[in-house]
């Protein structure tokens, strides 16, 4: 919902780091993979209830996820890089609810499953529309720097990361927050279906 508004600020803040990475010959794909691996450390930490340490790795993942695109734009953007970025992001997003289910299956498992189902709705509608948009040569005015057509909604990247931060700060509220966010994801999915229905009409 707010990704388009914060992207210019994000680019401005991360530009110096991206320039440093380019200067020392670190490639965008390397940043993407490193960010994903760092994010994976959050899973065992959450599962063993070390939530604040997990938050450090979640934020590290998100920081590098912002930098990789900057590095790519300073050097050369590639289809492979865009594919790798979005593919690893979706796996990372799925692992966080899974980790909370492992931490306390009795209280968190059902909420985690429902949230993951909601993530499938937002993710599949996002990627399906992007595929059709590429076929029709459509471009997003709100997200011109993205490697694929970025169809917005109520729950985007910023809201999802805010949710993960809240999970780690208040783990006892995981189920409540997960149910609320899952409902918001359902609304996002429905809105994307509606947008796709109209924008892709013959």
What does pTM read for this prediction?
A: 0.88
pLDDT tens digits, 105-157 = 999 999 999 999 999 999 999 898 888 888 877 776 665 555 566 677 888 88
Both structure tokens of 165: 């931060």
Ordered by where they begin, the domains of the chain are 3-199 (1.20.120.1760)
pLDDT tens digits, 23-67 = 999 999 999 999 999 999 999 999 999 999 999 999 999 999 999
pLDDT tens digits, 67-100 = 998 999 898 888 898 899 999 999 999 999 999 9
DSSP string computed for 40-95: HTHHHHHHTT-HHHHHHHHHHHHHHHHHHHHHHHHS---HHHHHHHHHHHHHHHHH
Distance between CA atoms of 124 and 91, rounded to whole angstroms?
13
pLDDT at 201: 81
Whether the predicted pLDDT of 182 surpasses 90: yes
């Amino acid at each position: 919902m707010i990704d388009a508004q914060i992207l210019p600020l994000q680019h401005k803040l991360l530009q110096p780091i991206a320039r440093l990475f380019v200067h020392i010959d670190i490639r965008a794909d390397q940043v993407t993979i490193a960010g994903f691996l760092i994010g994976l450390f959050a899973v065992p930490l959450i599962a063993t209830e070390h939530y604040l340490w997990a938050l450090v790795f979640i934020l590290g993942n998100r920081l590098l996820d912002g930098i990789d695109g900057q590095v790519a734009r300073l050097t050369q953007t590639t289809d492979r890089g865009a594919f790798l970025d979005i593919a690893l992001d979706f796996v990372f997003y799925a692992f966080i609810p899974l980790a909370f289910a492992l931490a306390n299956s009795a209280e968190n498992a059902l909420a985690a499953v429902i949230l993951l189902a909601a993530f499938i709705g937002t993710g599949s509608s996002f990627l399906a529309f992007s595929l059709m948009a590429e076929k029709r040569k459509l471009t997003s005015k709100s997200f011109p720097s993205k490697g694929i057509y970025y169809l917005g909604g109520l729950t985007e990247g910023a809201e999802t990361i805010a949710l993960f931060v809240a999970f780690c700060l208040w783990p006892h509220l995981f189920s409540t927050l997960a149910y609320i966010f899952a409902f918001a994801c359902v609304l996002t999915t429905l809105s994307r279906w509606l947008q796709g229905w109209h924008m892709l009409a013959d």
